[in-house]
Structure 1
Amino acid sequence: MRHFVRTALAVAGVALFVTATGGCAGGGGGTAPATSRAPSPANSPSAPGPSATPPAAGRITIKDYAFKPAALVVRPGAAVTVVNQDSVTHDVTATGGRAFATGSIKPGATATFTAPAKPGGYPYFCSIHPYMKAALTVRP
């Protein structure tokens, strides 16, 4: 019985210590480290909510072999400017048809294309680096 009481007191002491110090993450700050996640189309600043009107113009930046944002929402016929901030040439080419294509964009250069008039989703990629992919959504 004596052993049981000592064990119970020890467990209670540990629980009190953990509670008083804010847990065991980092020794007492009590604040968990911030986590980050890539924005989804629903929470991306360039992806307005269902009731918001998409912008009349859009901008895609190419940097570090990636399109940013990865999901862009614009109105039909919107002007979309593409800025190449990489050190190599890229392009923006719609998949599955000829909805839009910029042609080659040299490092530091820009190109503009017109978003399709028909609402819908338009995936695109860089034909020079086919692993680079993103999507344009056209919505009134």
Structure 2
Amino acid sequence: MKRVTLLAFFTALVLFGSAPARAADATIHIDNFAFNPPTLRVSAGTKVTWVNRDDMIHTTVDAATPRSFKSDPMDTDQSYSFVFAKPGTYHYFCSMHPQMMGTIIVE
């Protein structure tokens, strides 16, 4: 009986213990017509959330074509999240204020 319990324990350890850990979440604040931080480096699988702290409506739009992500307009204290599954460099901007730009580097 003891061998069966030990075998079940090691089987569970192999099945569940080898799953990759979820990457930590990251936050970018939109304030004073800027993304802060302007450049963010994260691991693949990280959920990035943009939070609008400005008094104006802003968006977060992937600069690439086709776009990987595009938020709806965010009013004050609204947010938008996207999970970056693939490594690469992602440039983004606010479609309402194109001078606002940022970069996410996914490793």
Coarse TM-score class (shorter-chain normalised): 0.7 to 0.9
Distance in 2 (CA, whole Å) between partners of 1:121 and 1:112 is 17
Task: Give aligned pairs, total.
Answer: 84
1:5-46 deviations in Å (ceiling 9; x for gaps): xxxxxxxxxxxxxxxxxxxxxxxxxxxxxxxxxxxxxxxxxx
User: What displacement does 1:105 show?
Assistant: 0.8
TM-score relative to the length of structure 2: 0.73
- Aligned counterpart, 2:27: 59
Higher relative contact order (CA closer than 8 Å, sequence separation 6+): 2
* Structure 1 stretches of at least 4 aligned residues deviating more than 3 Å after TM superposition: none
| Letter in structure 2 aligned against 1:101 | K
Whichever structure has more strand as a proportion of its residues is 2
> CA contact under 8 A between 1:72 and 1:136: conserved in structure 2?
yes
| Letter in structure 2 aligned against 1:99 | S
Distance in 2 (CA, whole Å) between partners of 1:138 and 1:69 is 15
TM-score relative to the length of structure 1: 0.57
User: What displacement does 1:126 show?
Assistant: 0.3
Distance in 1 (CA, whole Å) between partners of 2:74 and 2:57 is 5
Return 5+ residue gaps in structure 1 as ranges.
1-54
- Aligned counterpart, 1:114: 83
Distance in 2 (CA, whole Å) between partners of 1:99 and 1:69 is 20
Q: Does 1:96 pair with 2:64?
A: yes
Identity %: 37
Higher alpha-carbon Rg:
1
Q: Does 1:134 pair with 2:87?
A: no
Return 5+ residue gaps in structure 2 as ranges.
1-22
**Aligned counterpart in structure 2 of residue 105 of structure 1, from 57, 68, 74:** 74
- Aligned counterpart, 1:27: none
**Aligned counterpart in structure 2 of residue 81 of structure 1, from 26, 31, 49:** 49
